[in-house]
Amino acid sequence: MRKSIDEEKKKIPPLIANIKRSRHRLAYKTAEKAALAKLAETSRDNTKEIGYLRRRKESLEFRIATEAFTLEAERDLIRKKNEIEEQLNNAIKSYRLKRKVEYVNGDIQALTTEIAGIEKQIDEVDRKLDELYSELRYLTGQERRRQRQQERKTPEPKPVEISFADIAVIKDSKGSKRSSSGDGA
């Protein structure tokens, strides 16, 4: 009996360590989610424009590489290309940020389910330990002692109340003779 109790007790510390680790990771992920949410609000570039901006950039690069321009016209095309590149980089950053928020949300959900599973395992171990301890108490006689003590502690039932009418003998007035001797009674 003691061996099975010790085996169950050995299961608890790793479970507690796992749940602590998971809760710390969950706290970190929720803080990361809050920070990413603030960043996502500030960089709300339209991620649907990524394909359009890439095509424009490629077409400008192709025009610069293949066509002959004056120096000033080529500089203008390079400036436009750089502006488009900057817009494309911002759109890609916001897209990556949105994806990261999705991944963090997935991690948070996975951690909450993991924590729930670990808590369930801890509850099972606790329940099993309770059963083992109650068996041990029963085997050692503590349970019987406790029952005896509770029986001793129960108050004795109150005696039935007896009224004055129950004690007094009622005499029939017809059958009794009154004496008028001066007894006073």
What is the C-alpha separation between 43 and 70, in angstroms, rounded?
37
The answer to whether residue 159 is domain-embedded is: no
CB 1 within 8 A of CB 132: yes
What is the C-alpha separation between 139 and 136, in angstroms, rounded?
5
Task: Report how many domains make up the chain.
Answer: 1
The answer to whether residue 8 is domain-embedded is: yes
Q: What is the pLDDT of residue 26?
A: 93
Q: What is the pLDDT of residue 106?
A: 94
The answer to whether residue 129 is domain-embedded is: yes
The answer to whether residue 182 is domain-embedded is: no
Neighbours of 99 (CB within 10 A): 11
Backbone angles phi and psi of 70, in degrees to 5: -75, 165
What is the C-alpha separation between 88 and 108, in angstroms, rounded?
30
Nearest to 85 by CA among 42, 122, 56: 56
Q: What is the pLDDT of residue 171?
A: 54
**Coil, strand or helix at 169:** coil
- For residue 91, the enclosing domain spans 2-154
What is the C-alpha separation between 129 and 122, in angstroms, rounded?
10
Q: What CATH code is carried by the domain that includes residue 21?
A: 1.10.287
The answer to whether residue 74 is domain-embedded is: yes
- The gap from C-alpha 183 to its chain's centroid, in whole angstroms, comes to 90
Q: What is the pLDDT of residue 185?
A: 45
The answer to whether residue 185 is domain-embedded is: no
CB 129 within 8 A of CB 9: yes
The answer to whether residue 15 is domain-embedded is: yes
Environment class of 118 (CB within 10 Å of its CB; exposed 0-12, middle 13-18, buried 19+) = buried
Q: What is the pLDDT of residue 23?
A: 93
CB 114 within 8 A of CB 22: yes
The answer to whether residue 128 is domain-embedded is: yes
Q: What is the pLDDT of residue 44?
A: 67
**Coil, strand or helix at 63:** helix
Average pLDDT per consecutive 10 residues, the chain (185 residues; last block may be shorter) = 82 90 93 86 71 90 87 91 91 87 93 94 91 82 69 66 62 52 48
